[in-house]
Structure 1
Amino acid sequence: MPSSTDPAPVRAATARNAVLLAALADAALILTFAAIGRDAHQRGDVISGVLLTAWPFLAGAAIAWLGLRVWRAPLRVWPAGVAVWLGTVALGMGLRAVTGQTVVLPFVIVALLSLGTFLLGYRLIAAAAGRLKRRRLLR
């Protein structure tokens, strides 16, 4: 039985929180990408339109999370972040194509760049913050 000074339960709770926060961040950033795109093209039906645009990418991200077990290290840029990013775009575009939504090269490029910035960007910031924290602890 763990003692009150055993750090294992704290580490487990921290890991669960990291997984939950990373999954929520990915979903929020994918929704933001869809909202920005909808706004840029001045399309109506704000909430339903954003969800219509976002669902293939959200599904792609979920499949990448599950298929590649991203929860094991959700904040790592490689391989987790890259897997989520490319899975989101590739599977999202595939789902858009099979459901009759628009898939054109300029949109694929914008999605790759935007989602790459979003999904890798916060992971890069988290990695830098972690390195800075470790460096301060070693002083």
Structure 2
Amino acid sequence: MAALNLASQSVLEGLNACLDHRGSVFVPELGRTFALQRGVTRIFACQNPLHEGGARKGLPKSFLNRFTQVFVEPLSQDDLEHIVLSTRLPAGGRCPPAADVRRMADFSRRLNAAVHGRREFGQRGGPWEFNLRDITRS
């Protein structure tokens, strides 16, 4: 799943057609129209903060108002550790010891504080983000 504010214009237009009075979307590659079932179909979308960069674009307020917006706090160090330790790995993979996961999450937290909080380094070429994905890749 990609963030809504990273979607191409054609995807946003198709989604808008689902959400407005038409309640359907035409897929030209298939030559078919797909209609939503009123009262049954639910659409969930996510959007990352614009300040995170990565080609994220601001979406029109009229489009965003079609959704109920829920803001989620960043994950705490405890959250990160719990998620990594409870992740199911592909066959043969094994999770690192809890002490190592704790050190990885702490390193990520300190790196974020140095770059975003105290702005000690990493100000060019950003914005940078250090998150759960980085920890799980480690």
Is TM more than 0.5 here? no
Taking structure 1 as the reference length, the TM-score comes to 0.28
> Which structure would you say has the larger RCO, counting Cα contacts within 8 Å and 6 or more residues apart?
1
Taking structure 2 as the reference length, the TM-score comes to 0.28
* Higher helix content, 1 or 2: 1
* Higher strand content, 1 or 2: 2
Q: Which has the larger radius of gyration?
A: 2
